[in-house]
Amino acid sequence: MTAVSNLAPAHAVASLRDCTRRYPGVLALDNATFAVAAGEVRALLGKNGAGKSTLIRMLTGAEIPDTGSVTIDGVELSGSGSTRAQDSFQKGVRVVYQELSLVPGMTLAENLFLGRWPRKGGVIRYADMEAQAREAMAQLGLDLPPDRLVAGLSPAERQLLEIARAMLGRPKLIILDEPTSSLAAAEADKVMAAVTRVAAQGIAVIYVSHRMNEIRQIAHSATIMRDGRIIDTVDVKGADTREIVRLMLGSEASQAAALEDRSQPGIVLEVHDLALAPKLSSVSFSLRQGEVLGIAGLLGSGRTELLQAIMGVRPFDGGDVRIGKQSVRSAGYKDMIARGFGYTPESRKEEGIVPLLGVDENTLSTNFSGVSRNGILSSRRMAEATRKIVDRLHIKTARTDTPIGTLSGGNQQKVVIGRWVYAGSRVLLLDEPTRGVDVEAKAQIYSIIRQLAAEGRSIIFVSSEIEELPLVCDRVLVLRDGTLQDEFKSPHIDQDSLMAACISGH
């Protein structure tokens, strides 16, 4: 591995010197020294919580280091609060976040200058604005009429428009946060071409991504972070994926104890060549009874889309889903529930819970008739049925009718899983069930999943947290470039290979 020589501060557009930032209980940034030069594209890699976001916030002035200094364009950032952020902005630091911030009902030009429209006496000078917009977009190879509505743009075009917006006012450094995570491969190429154009104008680019093929195409070097520290900065050309994975993961216990495989020969679900443009091109696998099947993949690899297609929530373009010999391609969501399937969504807050209602109603909503007599809900039965689930899944709640919004994330998630246990589902599709859940609750959720499998239920466990897959899964499939690329079987599921399989290129 060839380490890139530390750039002399004179060339650096932006740099951190010995920056440390401590949050209660966490060292978010540990004595980090970092510099990026004009015209350079620097990839930034690291698992969740490695300190990438903190480093970015240091550069934008959103955070102040406890010790150390941040220098932008040769001047050290001073001040605090919003003045620091303004200072950084004026010196030319721009960030393009994953969540797009465009107004769909307004035109490209209006979005580009959102809130800062060129005007005269309160009237927007459209001709002027559109001419400027056309020029700004042309710089990135985005050739679209500026009076078109954003609503009609493809995801890649929207991302390019965001970058064009960041390019206004001659910035020095542009930070892109997983700009291609929501894009299919062909679309991602357009964004990468634009990034290359940006760098060619002498602007420094920090590119947060985990797709190694993209990084190899556009970045000169890659900085790898772990546990708040900058581990190394490597020359992308010379580094191989395994080596980068090793730097990202460190020497953590890379193999979990073998799980007791209770899966039985019966196949409960078969997926054949499932296609769903633009994310999934051909996905095939089968799920056995009593098996915990993990699906690993980067953000935007189509994990959620796959589960939703199986469940009948999202129509798919080709292929087939079968239960036994029967195709359930045209089955709707309610049919799938009736066939013993249960689905827990990725975003618990938006799609999982009804916060104002009690734990009982959030659990029992999958089958109210199970706790009714002659169509009337029985308080006693509701409390009993909920108590059973609460005890089984170790849900911490004072009462069964406590509003679920008052519970911790982990306990909310257990309720969301519990509602399918209550409904008697045989196949559970869990999309990121440990997202936003504390460590203790995570461990409990793992053991709940193992226990449910031991009872003969089959589980598909989708996760972007590589290290939890070996703890829970009998088998892990890696979703990349629209298909399942690799298969790992317990006990041969190790984090390094999994991560490498997720991030490596075509």
Partner 1 sequence: MSLDHAAKPAVSDKPKTARLAFSQHMNEVSLFLAILVLYLIFASTAPGFISFNNQVNILRDAATIGIAAWAVTLIIIAGEIDVSVGPMVAFISVSLAFLLQWGLPTPVAFVVAIAFGAFLGAISGVLRAYFDVPSFVATLGMWSALRGTALFVTDALPVSIGRNDMLDALDRSVFGIPPAAIIMLVLFAAFAFVSRKTAFGRSVFAIGGNPHAAFLSGISVSRIRVGLFAIGGAMAAISGILLVSRLGSGNATAASGLEFDVIAAVVVGGTALSGGRGSMLGTLLGVLVITLIGNGLVLLGINPFFQQVVRGLIIVIAVLANIQAIKRSLSRNKG
Judged by the rule CB under 8 A, the positions of this chain that interact with partner 1 are: 47-49, 52-53, 98, 177-178, 208, 210, 249, 298-299, 313, 333-334, 337, 343-345, 349-357, 361-362, 365-369, 372, 375-377, 402-403, 405-410, 419, 423, 435-438, 464-467, 495, 499, 502-503
Q: Which of 48, 20, 49 is nearest to 34 (CA)?
A: 20
Alpha helices in 45-184 (DSSP H): 52-60, 81-90, 108-112, 126-138, 155-167
Taking the least distance from each CB to partner 1, the nearer of 31 and 98 is: 98
Pair 432, 464: CB distance under 8 Å: yes
Work out the number of other CB atoms within 10 angstroms of the CB of residue 86. 12
Diameter of the chain by CA atoms? 80
Closest distance of CB 274 from partner 1, Å: 20
Closest distance of CB 445 from partner 1, Å: 13
Full DSSP string of 257-268: PPP-----S-EE
Q: Which pair of structure tokens corresponds to residue 301?
A: 């690899």
Q: Is 276 helix (H, G, I), strand (E, B) or coil?
A: strand
Closest distance of CB 444 from partner 1, Å: 14
Alpha helices in 8-107 (DSSP H): 52-60, 81-90
Taking the least distance from each CB to partner 1, the nearer of 77 and 416 is: 416
Closest distance of CB 432 from partner 1, Å: 9
Dihedral pair phi/psi, residue 46, rounded to 5°: 160, 150
CA contacts within 13 A on the Cβ side of 406: 12
Closest distance of CB 242 from partner 1, Å: 16
Taking the least distance from each CB to partner 1, the nearer of 23 and 266 is: 23
Pair 301, 326: CB distance under 8 Å: no
Closest distance of CB 351 from partner 1, Å: 4
Taking the least distance from each CB to partner 1, the nearer of 179 and 319 is: 179
Q: Which of 46, 502, 440, 481 is nearest to 295 (CA)?
A: 502
Taking the least distance from each CB to partner 1, the nearer of 267 and 357 is: 357
Which residues in 227-296 belong to E strands, given as ranges?
Answer: 229-235, 267-276, 280-288, 292-296
Closest distance of CB 244 from partner 1, Å: 13
Distances (CA, A) of 374 to 211, 258, 368, 377: 56, 49, 12, 8
Taking the least distance from each CB to partner 1, the nearer of 356 and 454 is: 356
Closest distance of CB 347 from partner 1, Å: 9
Closest distance of CB 419 from partner 1, Å: 6
Full DSSP string of 294-310: EEE--TTSSHHHHHHHH
Residue whose structure tokens are 């946060």: 177
Taking the least distance from each CB to partner 1, the nearer of 31 and 53 is: 53
Taking the least distance from each CB to partner 1, the nearer of 107 and 464 is: 464
Taking the least distance from each CB to partner 1, the nearer of 186 and 376 is: 376
